[in-house]
Amino acid sequence: FPHLHRQASKATAQCPNVTVLPYGLADKDVIAEVSGVAAHGTEQIELRAAVPTLQEILMQTSGTLDYIWINCEGCEYSVLQALLEPAGLEILRHVRHLVIFWHSRIWALDYDNERKLERRRIEEKIADNG
């Protein structure tokens, strides 16, 4: 969300080692239209494919990412699936802290159980690959 990017950039302006990027990560490049409480009306947001984007960021830095925060209201599963492919796992080896906010749909119990199983598989694979 553009307004959240502006707020985060302002809040971290005095932190020279923090970069707030004006896009989100997804499993593929897309422009998404969102509305709701977090959006001011309807907004378009840019989502970039996680693996090539993080590879590009790693090349621009010292080769280490201190912190990745994944909080994308349900699409964290597709982002993490992309990061669990060989190229993504190589990226994760260069991340000091990975924070994931998991989301599910409580009102859809079968869906929620599937998400719990998928979450467990993802967490195990991340743990197995250091």
114-121 — which CB contacts under 8 Å span 24+ positions?
115/77, 118/77, 119/77
Asked whether the beta carbons of 2 and 30 are under 8 A apart, the reply is no
CA atoms within 13 A on the CB side of 101: 6
Write out pLDDT tens, residues 37-54.
555 678 888 899 999 999
pLDDT in tens, 88-128: 999 999 999 988 887 665 544 555 677 778 878 888 888 88
End-to-end C-alpha distance for the chain, whole angstroms: 32
The pTM for the full model equals 0.76
Neighbours of 48 (CB within 10 A): 17
